[in-house]
Amino acid sequence: MNLKLIQQKIRTFRDERDWMKFHNPKNLAMSISIEAAELLEHFQWKNLEESEKHAIEAKDQIADEAADVAVYLIELCDNLSIDLEAAVHAKLEKNAAKYPTTKARGSAKKYTDL
Amino acid sequence: MNLKLIQQKIRTFRDERDWMKFHNPKNLAMSISIEAAELLEHFQWKNLEESEKHAIEAKDQIADEAADVAVYLIELCDNLSIDLEAAVHAKLEKNAAKYPTTKARGSAKKYTDL
Amino acid sequence: MNLKLIQQKIRTFRDERDWMKFHNPKNLAMSISIEAAELLEHFQWKNLEESEKHAIEAKDQIADEAADVAVYLIELCDNLSIDLEAAVHAKLEKNAAKYPTTKARGSAKKYTDL
Amino acid sequence: MNLKLIQQKIRTFRDERDWMKFHNPKNLAMSISIEAAELLEHFQWKNLEESEKHAIEAKDQIADEAADVAVYLIELCDNLSIDLEAAVHAKLEKNAAKYPTTKARGSAKKYTDL
């Protein structure tokens, strides 16, 4: 994924419309949540089987919602000088240390410690 | 962003723990929403100035939450064979057509059509 | 539910702390979403059976999260002079008209029209 | 707010349509989050002043979204035998103890401890 190109496109799109004034971190974080909920809506009343089936049938609409989340997330990181790629790798390493395979294997135990 | 490498790391992490059984589309979409809310929590009671200031001071924690959203989003797309990069470009083109610069310039009008 | 008493308690709590300045509609709506996500987190990786079981075991914590959503929702409505009780009844009537029993019976069809 | 009457109406509405099978705790918690996001959408790109103004102009639509959150929250609590009124009072007392007026006055400090 050419993140630099996408960031550049997002900046151009935003600045041609003079929308930077709306795109502060608070509003972008809100927008990520709102778009994430639209993605979630696809699976709202479906059981796991229906969700899997719907994911195939509505692949294009789901891709569209996923893109909305991604666009705002990429812009937020760009605006805050966050290196999203580095952050993702750091998080994956952190998770690997947090959930050693010997302990975590086949268990959702971790997830239940709310 | 080397999306293929990240997808591979996520798969390996997940499969070494036998967690695919939890990572159906419904659960991943839920997780994206939950992580998006944790990102949003950083700006919960702050006004725009405080949000900007906090975004600088808490850059690492915000990067961490942004990575959580990204990881689940990337995995969801991988599992559903969605090309996230292509979806992002398609969305940016769609938005450009939807909000012509002549009409949208400096206005958040579009956003108010709820 | 004595809504007036609860609203009065919320106002007193807020005003004794001089927090009205944080409790504008945008921030309250954000807080409802954030608390809703904390409620959702209880069911994050669980299938339906595990969710039902967890709902019984973690009843007190779930009640606590539900209360957080309710408190902010009640305050938002109070601040905006929205009669939440009337709004709920209006919505239930609207839904009854929208989903006639003859058509909607046993089907989640309605929900799939995303 | 006559919570018992509302709960009874929700049960009747649901059971006449044979929808209990969709209304498990996981799905209801998801629905609360989704509706909370629709409420949040009203304030998505607006600054505080615009949000206040919009809250007055779009009062009916906001009431409608608030009702959606309330309906699913009330049903979830009903299904889980959670006394929402008691939970709200317990939470308000807990908050009062957590944020003593002497310390919390005029400060959003509490909120920043993410």
The residue assigned the tokens 């997780």 is B31
CATH code of the domain occupying C7-104:
1.10.287.1080
The residue assigned the tokens 């899997």 is A52
pLDDT tens per residue, range B35-90: 999 999 999 999 999 999 999 999 999 999 999 999 999 999 999 999 999 999 99
Residue A52 has pLDDT above 80, yes or no: yes
For residues C84 and D67, the answer to whether their CB atoms sit within 8 Å is: yes
- pLDDT, average across residues B13-38: 97
How far apart CA B1 and CA D9 sit, in angstroms, is 52
CA C85 from chain centre, in angstroms, equals 13
Interface touch D108/B48, C-beta < 8 Å: no
User: Which residues of chain D register pLDDT less than 50?
Assistant: 111-114
For residues D18 and C105, the answer to whether their CB atoms sit within 8 Å is: yes
Interface touch B45/D111, C-beta < 8 Å: yes
pLDDT tens per residue, range A1-33: 999 999 999 999 999 999 999 999 999 999 999
* Residues within 8 A of C (CB atoms), D 47-86 only: 48, 51-52, 54-56, 59, 62-64, 66-71, 73-74, 76-77, 80-85
- What pLDDT sits at residue D110? 56
How far apart CA A66 and CA A56 sit, in angstroms, is 14
Q: Is B45 on the interface with C (CB under 8 A)?
A: yes
pLDDT tens per residue, range A87-114: 999 999 999 999 999 888 887 665 444 3
Confidence of residue C106 (pLDDT cuts 50, 70, 90): confident
Please tell me which residue of chain A has the smallest CA distance to B22.
A108
User: Taking the domains of chain A in order of start, what are their residue ranges?
Assistant: 3-105
Say which CATH topology domain A3-105 has: Helix Hairpins (1.10.287)
Q: What is the mean pLDDT of chain C?
A: 94
- Cα–Cα separations (whole angstroms), residue D109 to A21, A82, C76, D104: 26, 25, 21, 7
pLDDT tens per residue, range D72-103: 999 999 999 999 999 999 999 999 999 999 88
How far apart CA D21 and CA A47 sit, in angstroms, is 10
Question: Which other chains touch chain A, taking contact as 3+ CB pairs less than 8 Å apart?
Answer: B, C, D
How far apart CA D41 and CA D35 sit, in angstroms, is 10
State how far residue C36 is from chain B, nearest Cα, in angstroms.
9
How far apart CA D114 and CA D110 sit, in angstroms, is 9
Handedness of CA C99, C102, C103, C105 (dihedral sign): positive
Q: What is the mean pLDDT of chain A?
A: 94
Say which CATH topology domain B3-82 has: Helix Hairpins (1.10.287)
How far apart CA C26 and CA B43 sit, in angstroms, is 11
Closest Cα to residue D11, out of C80, C96, A16, C14?
Answer: C96
Give burial (CB, 10 Å; 0-12/13-18/19+) of A74. Answer: buried
- What pLDDT sits at residue B82? 98
For residues A68 and A35, the answer to whether their CB atoms sit within 8 Å is: yes
User: A7-18 as b/e, with b when 16 or more CB fall inside 10 Å?
Assistant: bebbeebbeebe
Query: Which of B19, B62, B76 lies nearest to residue A80, judging by beta carbons?
Result: B62
- What pLDDT sits at residue B112? 43
Instruction: Say how many residues make up chain D.
Output: 114
pLDDT tens per residue, range C24-35: 999 999 999 999
For residues B101 and A18, the answer to whether their CB atoms sit within 8 Å is: no
Q: Is C13 on the interface with B (CB under 8 A)?
A: no
How far apart CA D12 and CA D48 sit, in angstroms, is 40
* Token output for D71: 């309906």
- What pLDDT sits at residue B104? 83
